[in-house]
Amino acid sequence: VNLAVVNILPFPALDGGRLSFVLYEAITKRKPKPSFEQWVNTAGMALLLLLIILITINDIGRLFKTTSLLEKMRSLWPF
């Protein structure tokens, strides 16, 4: 059930992102340019992969009892 909920979120590269484009087309009665749709899906996939990588790094760090990713980020940006 959780996977279905996450998958339907209106995030590009997921089914919810595709649903967003379908709703846009239904409301405006015109399709978005294929190049724009491809760009949005590519950017969404890149952000999703970046999030997966950051979460994995954080989990590995916690597994070995090192500082968390959040603490490392705070040390880089002191504000």
Q: Determine the Cα–Cα distance for residues 73 and 24; give it in Å rounded to an integer.
A: 37
Q: What is the pLDDT of residue 75?
A: 74
Biggest CA-to-CA distance, the chain: 54
Question: What pLDDT digit, counting tens, does each position of 11-60 carry?
Answer: 888 888 999 999 999 999 999 999 999 999 999 999 999 999 988 887 87
Look up the domain containing 25 and give its range.
Answer: 2-76
Q: What is the pLDDT of residue 43?
A: 93
Angle between helices 69-76 and 34-63 (to 10 degrees): 110
Read off the amino acid at residue 36: F
Question: In total, how many domains does the chain have?
Answer: 1
**67 falls in which pLDDT band (50, 70, 90)?**
low
- Report pTM: 0.68
